[in-house]
Amino acid sequence: MEEKITCAACEARKKHNPRNEEELKDLKTRINKIIGQLNGVQKMLDENRYCGDVLTQIAATESALQAVGYIVLKSHMESCLIDDIKEGKNASVDEVFDLMKKLK
């Protein structure tokens, strides 16, 4: 009989309410644009571009990533958090505050 080995990474938590197709498509589109921006930063560095231009592109990338984070947080609050509160899991409110601090 084989012994099952488990780890935290293998047992990642799943979202209780699946994201709808439109939301998922939007998030993936935004992430792909961010990947493109990061590739652009890498190219700028390879081309020895002016520091100010590189920093401007980095700031734009950070802003785009921040926007994705806020979209995910809003979705979390509108679905997971509300469901948890209805079920009496008030500790989820503290979790949301911790998540907001991480996004700052």
Single out the residue of 48, 41, 94, 49 nearest to residue 65, CA to CA.
41
Domains and CATH numbers, the chain: 21-103 (1.20.58.1000)
**Burial level of 43, CB count in 10 A (0-12/13-18/19+)?**
exposed
Is residue 45 within 8 Å of residue 54, measured between CB atoms? yes
Per-residue pLDDT of the chain (104 residues; tens, 9 = 90+): 455 555 455 456 787 778 899 999 999 999 999 999 999 999 999 999 999 999 999 999 999 999 999 999 999 999 989 988 999 988 889 999 999 999 87
Is residue 15 within 8 Å of residue 80, measured between CB atoms? yes
